[in-house]
Amino acid sequence: MSGTREFKGCYDSYLHYLVLKHFNPINDPHLSVFNVKEFKRYNDIKKKMVKESEENAQIFSCNKILVALLDESCSIKVGVSGLVANNFLKKYPSNRSLCIYKNNKDGYSGSARGGGNFLSQIKTIPLIQAGGHEEAFGLSFAKEDFEKVIKSLQTL
């Protein structure tokens, strides 16, 4: 965390990504109850990243599923897509949401939140690889399948 102090007042998404990737105050044995300030800073960074992702997302509806496509300018997507999907589920009148983004492997990845048998329904679409719990799971699909996936989501 000491390296981030040099950037105080400067919002740098990549720096925040590195902080989240390499610093988890819950698992850090060097932290004590006296380091609440660092824990708060960690949470503030995470909230700022989620907010940035939400503000820059393209949002559209596929039948009863809210889809948020994260903007490519958001430097951090892994780790916040589930939080974004969860927040959109709370904000919009939908009982299912997907938060997807272009990954580095020439495809799309993301997180989904929803009730009932959402994962089972998503797994009926052969173009999508998905895994996790029925109500919260990760997913991915090939870049060239984007339009087909969106059409398939319309039928769920």
pLDDT digits (tens, 9 = 90+) for 69-82: 877 665 555 667 77
Cα–Cα distance for residue pair 151/156, rounded to 1 Å: 10
Domain 57-155 maps to which CATH number in 3.20.10.10, 3.10.310.30, 3.40.50.300, 3.40.640.10? 3.10.310.30
- pLDDT, the chain, mean: 76
Domain ranges of the chain: 2-53, 57-155
| pTM above threshold 0.75 | no
Per-residue model confidence as pLDDT tens digits over 98-124: 888 777 677 888 888 988 889 999 999
